[in-house]
C-alpha cells in the first residue's frame, strides 16, 4: 500500500504541471518531438533569486513526428533494432531548426507561490540507419539541456 499512496501523492503534487512540447528539425528533414514534464520540485534553501532555490526534476522523451518517404523506404529492409541500444552505426546529424519545449508549474513554498519555468533545448542529435524502429524509422537520439527559472507569483 505504501507504493500506491506514494504514487497518488506524486500525481497530486505535480497535477498542475503541464507537458512541454518542442520540435526539432534535423538535416535529413526529420522532425522530432521533444516532450518534457516537471516530475518533482523541492526547496533547497537560499538564493539571490527570490530568496529561494529549487531542485527541479525534469523527465523527457522524443518521438519522430515526420520523416521523408525516401528515408522510410530505405529503412524497410533494415533489421529491427535490438532491445539494448546498439553501439555501432551512429552518426551525428545537424539540428537545422528548433522550437524549444516549455513547461511551467506553480508551487506553494515557504516563501509563497512561485512559477517554475523549464525550457528544454536540443544541443546534439544522432541517428542510426543500420537498424529500424517498429515503424520503419531510423533510431534517433537527442541530447538536450533544461534551463530552469522561477519567479514569485503576484496575488
Residue 106: strand pairing partners: 115
Read off the C-alpha cell for 128: 542510426
* pLDDT score of 11 more than 60: no
Range of the domain at 71: 2-152
The count of domains in the chain is 1
- Whether the model clears a pTM of 0.95, i.e. scores above it, the answer is no
pLDDT, position 155? 74
Alpha helices in 1-155 (DSSP H): 2-14, 69-75
56-107: per-residue pLDDT in tens? 999 999 999 999 999 999 999 999 999 999 999 999 999 999 999 999 999 9
b or e along 91-106 (b: 16 or more beta carbons within 10 Å of the residue's beta carbon)? eebebeebebbebbbe
Amino acid at each position: 500500500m505504501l507504493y500506491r499512496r506514494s504514487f497518488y501523492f506524486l500525481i497530486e503534487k505535480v497535477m498542475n504541471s503541464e507537458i512541454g512540447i518542442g520540435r526539432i528539425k534535423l538535416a535529413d528533414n526529420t522532425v522530432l518531438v521533444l516532450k518534457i514534464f516537471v516530475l518533482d520540485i523541492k526547496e533547497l534553501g537560499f538564493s539571490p533569486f527570490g530568496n529561494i532555490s529549487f531542485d527541479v526534476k525534469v523527465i523527457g522523451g522524443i518521438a519522430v513526428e515526420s520523416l521523408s518517404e525516401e528515408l522510410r523506404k530505405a529503412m524497410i529492409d533494415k533489421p529491427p533494432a535490438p532491445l539494448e541500444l546498439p553501439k555501432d552505426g551512429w552518426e551525428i546529424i545537424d539540428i537545422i531548426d528548433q522550437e524549444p519545449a516549455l513547461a511551467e508549474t506553480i508551487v506553494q513554498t515557504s516563501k509563497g507561490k512561485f512559477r517554475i519555468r523549464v525550457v528544454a533545448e536540443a544541443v546534439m542529435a544522432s541517428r542510426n540507419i543500420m537498424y529500424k524502429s517498429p515503424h520503419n524509422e531510423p533510431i534517433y537520439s537527442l541530447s538536450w539541456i533544461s534551463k530552469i527559472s522561477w519567479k514569485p507569483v503576484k496575488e
